[in-house]
């Protein structure tokens, strides 16, 4: 047992000692033979990695379908001048549905990812460099509560903001540019906002609805907030191996 362990054994008289482990720095001995890859902890970590990987693949599938649908609808919209502009609007609605599905999946994915990050920050990072200590002294208690009663760590709005920043904001901008191009240079020359009209709605009303929709999207994506996504959103995603402070 490592020096940092606070485990104690007491004999209650029946010949079987009771073991009480209260040390939050279990990572100090994680690479010792007694805590090697065959331990229950290592199996637990591998299981969390596997579940995180499965949900990561589900996220990627949703993104792939959104891109495929967008490309197909834009191709059809510009295949003939007779095709109406609202095909692009239907593409925006469809991709919005994929965004909502992906945000819900991201909330579930974050359950497993947050556990993996908890292990990495407080066990493996500590095992590699004990001098820096653990990131969270209460990580064992937090994991215990989460295993007893799993809970979402991020709200639906934060999940939407995360997926917008990572994937969907550029897709919506492409569709907005395609819609504007279709109305101004590709459709019949009636002028804006008449070209934007849809049966039953004037061009002005459709334009206002599109502007409000995009204003809502980018407000959700880029408004100031306190992020609860651990380790996903960083000030810089490119750090190399140089973590030294100037």
pLDDT digits (tens, 9 = 90+) for 100-120: 999 999 999 999 999 998 888
pLDDT in the model for residue 12: 54
pLDDT digits (tens, 9 = 90+) for 8-53: 455 555 555 555 555 566 555 554 555 554 467 778 888 899 999 9
pLDDT in the model for residue 27: 56
pLDDT band at 84; cut points 50, 70, 90:
confident
Helices 86-119 and 40-77, packing angle to 10 deg: 170
Left if phi > 0, otherwise alpha if psi is -120 to 50, otherwise beta: which for 145? alpha
Contact status, residue 112 vs residue 52, Cβ threshold 8 Å:
yes
pLDDT digits (tens, 9 = 90+) for 124-146: 888 888 888 888 888 889 888 99
Regarding predicted confidence, which is higher, 28 or 155?
Answer: 155
Mean pLDDT of the chain: 80
Instruction: Fill in the DSSP letter of residue 29.
Output: G
Domain-by-domain residue ranges, the chain? 37-222
pLDDT digits (tens, 9 = 90+) for 168-190: 999 999 999 999 888 887 666 66
Question: Which stretches of 78-183 are DSSP H helices?
Answer: 86-119, 125-128, 139-148, 156-163, 169-181
């Amino acid at each position: 047992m490592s020096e940092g362990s606070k485990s104690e054994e007491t004999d209650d008289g029946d010949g079987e000692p009771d073991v009480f482990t209260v040390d939050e720095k279990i990572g100090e001995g994680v690479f010792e033979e007694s805590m090697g890859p065959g331990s229950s902890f290592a199996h637990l970590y591998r299981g969390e990695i596997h579940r995180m990987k499965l949900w990561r693949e589900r996220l990627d599938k949703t993104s792939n379908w959104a891109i495929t649908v967008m490309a197909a609808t834009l191709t059809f919209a510009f295949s003939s001048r007779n095709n109406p502009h609202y095909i692009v609007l239907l593409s925006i609605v469809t991709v919005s549905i994929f965004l909502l599905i992906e945000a819900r999946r991201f909330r579930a994915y974050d359950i497993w990812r947050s556990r993996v990050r908890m292990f990495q920050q407080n066990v493996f990072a500590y095992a590699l460099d004990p001098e820096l200590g653990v990131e969270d002294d209460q990580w064992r208690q937090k994991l215990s509560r989460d295993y007893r009663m799993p809970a979402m760590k991020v709200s639906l709005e934060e999940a939407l903001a995360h997926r917008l920043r990572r994937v969907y904001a550029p897709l919506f901008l492409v569709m907005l540019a395609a819609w504007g191009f279709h109305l101004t240079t590709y459709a019949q020359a009636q002028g804006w906002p008449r070209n934007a009209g849809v049966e039953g709605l004037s061009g002005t009303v459709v334009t206002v609805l599109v502007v409000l929709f995009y204003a809502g999207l980018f407000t959700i994506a880029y408004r100031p907030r306190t992020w609860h996504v651990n380790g996903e959103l960083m000030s810089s995603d490119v750090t190399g191996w140089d973590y030294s402070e100037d």
